[in-house]
């Protein structure tokens, strides 16, 4: 279960996909993720509701396109879906305070899957080790096409959902986030400098569960995006 996953072909040529040329020109950077940003999700995994944002990073090699297929590794235990609102950064952001503008630095918004090897994560947590092997493997972050941010207000009320085989599994609104998007980006910038092409995953709602080969996924982001795909496994 602890073997790393390498040479996963779908990630080899990742570039941000969008109808917006300026987005397509951005490099693929790091993915800064927020854990437990929805109280109900923290509780469903038996985790305490945090008093400050929980931050971890997926490398650029975890990125792949969320197209017709979602690939999960075989033989490494359960791989859970975690659908999240994704934010793409287009300007360098560092050590922001509450007066600094964040909205003008957002290139676009999308949906992403924070694929998680749950059995491995639980083992690592029980040993007091970091989660990266369960969260940052090649192909662990499928991303849909990027679209333009409708408005700053939209970030406070965005809705997104994920259905598996026609059954609604995850559904939420940004209003239920413990820390709103703008506040998160400012907070992250005080620890990690965000560079053009970096992404922020803003947390997943309750309803996470294991994916199985053959599962049919449908996800939506407000009225901006709809994604349909099928799960396949590799390796093993």
pLDDT of residue 170: 97
Domain-located, residue 136: yes
pLDDT of residue 198: 98
Tens-digit pLDDT profile for residues 197-211: 999 999 999 999 999
Domain-located, residue 171: yes
pLDDT of residue 232: 93
Name 32's Cβ contacts closer than 8 Å, sequence gap at least 6.
55, 57, 188, 192, 194, 198, 199, 200, 201
Q: How many domains are contained in the chain?
A: 1
Model confidence at 2, pLDDT cuts 50, 70, 90, reads very low
CATH code of 134's domain? 3.90.850.10
Q: Which domain holds residue 37?
A: 9-235
Domain-located, residue 32: yes
pTM of the model: 0.93
Q: Would the pLDDT of 11 be above 90?
A: no
Euclidean distance between CA atoms 68 and 144, whole angstroms: 10
The residues with which 233 forms a beta bridge, in sequence order, are: 72
CB-based contact 49:36 (threshold 8 Å): yes
Domain-located, residue 129: yes
Q: Would the pLDDT of 1 be above 50?
A: no
Tens-digit pLDDT profile for residues 50-78: 889 999 999 999 999 998 899 999 989 99
Q: Would the pLDDT of 86 be above 60?
A: yes
Average confidence (pLDDT) over 219-228: 97
The residues with which 227 forms a beta bridge, in sequence order, are: 219
Tens-digit pLDDT profile for residues 30-56: 999 998 899 877 677 777 878 899 999
Collapse the DSSP code of 181 into the 3-class scheme (helix H, G, I; strand E, B; otherwise coil) and give the result. helix
**Percent of residues, the chain, with pLDDT higher than 90:** 83
């Amino acid at each position: 279960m602890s073997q790393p996953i390498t040479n996963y072909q779908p990630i080899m040529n990742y570039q941000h996909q969008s109808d917006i040329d300026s987005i397509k020109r951005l490099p693929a950077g790091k993915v800064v993720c927020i854990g437990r940003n929805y109280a109900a999700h923290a509780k469903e995994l038996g985790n305490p509701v945090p008093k400050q944002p929980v931050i971890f990073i997926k490398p650029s090699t975890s990125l792949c396109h969320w197209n017709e297929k979602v690939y999960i590794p075989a033989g490494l235990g359960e791989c859970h879906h975690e659908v999240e609102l994704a934010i793409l950064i287009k300007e360098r952001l560092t050590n922001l305070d509450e007066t600094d503008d964040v909205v003008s630095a957002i290139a676009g918004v999308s949906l992403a899957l924070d694929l998680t090897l749950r059995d491995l994560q639980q083992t690592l947590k029980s040993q007091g080790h970091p989660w990266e092997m369960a969260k940052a493997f090649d192909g662990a972050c499928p991303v849909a096409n990027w679209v333009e941010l409708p408005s700053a207000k939209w970030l406070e009320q965005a809705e997104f959902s994920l259905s598996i085989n026609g059954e609604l599994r995850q559904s939420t609104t940004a209003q239920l986030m413990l820390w709103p998007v703008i506040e998160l980006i400012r907070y992250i910038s005080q620890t990690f400098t965000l560079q053009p092409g970096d992404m922020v995953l803003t947390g997943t709602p309750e309803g996470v569960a294991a994916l199985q080969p053959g599962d049919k996924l449908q996800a939506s982001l407000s009225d901006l995006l709809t994604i349909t795909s099928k799960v396949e496994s590799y390796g093993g």
